């Protein structure tokens, strides 16, 4: 009869089957790989979770105002008056006016504004603009560069990395270059002359994922 502290037969004797050792080794590797995979998944789940809950990383929320992130007005609240009609674009991050939280914890929150004559905007664009100011994600949907270029003669936005060109008068339609889709549009309205968020981005922000 076998006693409680007897070792299983397998560990007391040299196993006659060489393949069994390899098989045990493989199954240990499989377990290790699964554990590593689980660790990586948990890590990304935590990162995604923090992006959803950290107020500095939250995408622009309705009622947010904006703070210029560069240029002569850097650090100031964006007002219609600060945006010259006809361009060039200005860049800013959203700010929660209640908590004064600047949502600059993610570069995907960077927004560009262009002030254009309302008569030049297409109807769907004018509907989400604030007195002629249109707002778009400043991140190119091709590979994620900052869309910082401006063609004054055509009033087009240009990505400096691979020359994708967007028309801000028409929901940032792609005019040329490799960008697979328009810049996500951010609905705006003005409150006491300040540019504020009136809705969510029209599409996922950032580079196209393959």
What residue spans of the chain are helical by DSSP H?
9-12, 18-53, 123-126
Q: Please list every residue from 148 through 167 that binds ligand FES, using CB under 6 A.
A: 159, 161-162, 164
Q: Taking CB under 6 A as the rule, does residue 178 contact ligand FES?
A: yes
Q: Can residue 137 be called a binding residue for ligand FES (CB under 6 A)?
A: no
Residue closer to ligand FES by CB (options 128, 140) is 140
For ligand FES, the closer of residues 64 and 142 by Cβ is 142
Stretch that binds ligand FES, among 34-42, 45-53, 59-67, 138-146 (CB under 6 A): 138-146
CB 150 within 8 A of CB 87: yes
Residue 182 CB, nearest distance to ligand FES (Å)?
A: 12
Q: Which stretch binds ligand FES (CB under 6 A): 14-22, 69-77, 124-132, 174-182?
A: 174-182
Closest CA to 205 of 47, 51, 45, 59: 59
User: 3-state DSSP call for residue 39?
Assistant: helix
C-alpha 154/C-alpha 118 separation (Å) is: 16
Nearest approach, Cβ of residue 125 and ligand FES (Å)? 21
Euclidean distance between CA atoms 149 and 160, whole angstroms: 6
130 backbone dihedrals φ, ψ, rounded to 5°: -110, 100
Residue 88 in contact with ligand FES, rule: CB under 6 A: no
Retrieve residue 86's tokens: 């006809």
142 scored as a contact of ligand FES (CB under 6 A): yes
**Alpha-carbon span 195 to 153, nearest angstrom:** 25
Chain residues binding ligand FES by CB under 6 A are 140, 142-143, 145, 159, 161-162, 164, 177-179
């Amino acid at each position: 009869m076998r006693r409680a502290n007897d070792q299983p037969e397998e560990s007391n004797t040299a196993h006659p089957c060489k393949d069994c050792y390899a098989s045990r080794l493989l199954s240990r590797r499989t377990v290790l790989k699964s554990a590593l995979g689980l660790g990586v998944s948990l890590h990304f789940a935590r990162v995604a979770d923090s992006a959803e809950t950290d107020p500095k990383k939250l995408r622009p929320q309705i009622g947010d105002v904006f703070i210029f992130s560069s240029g002569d007005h850097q650090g100031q609240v964006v007002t219609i008056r600060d945006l010259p009609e006809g361009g060039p674009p200005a860049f800013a991050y959203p700010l929660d006016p209640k908590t004064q939280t600047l949502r600059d914890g993610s570069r995907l929150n960077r927004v560009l504004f262009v002030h254009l004559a309302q008569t030049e905007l297409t109807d769907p664009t004018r509907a989400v603009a604030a007195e002629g100011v249109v707002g778009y994600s400043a991140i190119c949907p091709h590979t994620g560069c900052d869309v910082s270029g401006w063609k004054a003669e055509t009033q087009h936005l240009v990505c400096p990395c691979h020359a994708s060109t967007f028309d801000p008068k028409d929901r940032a339609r792609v005019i040329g270059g490799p960008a697979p889709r328009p810049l996500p549009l951010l609905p705006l309205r003005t409150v006491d002359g300040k540019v504020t968020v009136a809705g969510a981005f029209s599409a996922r922000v950032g580079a196209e994922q393959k």
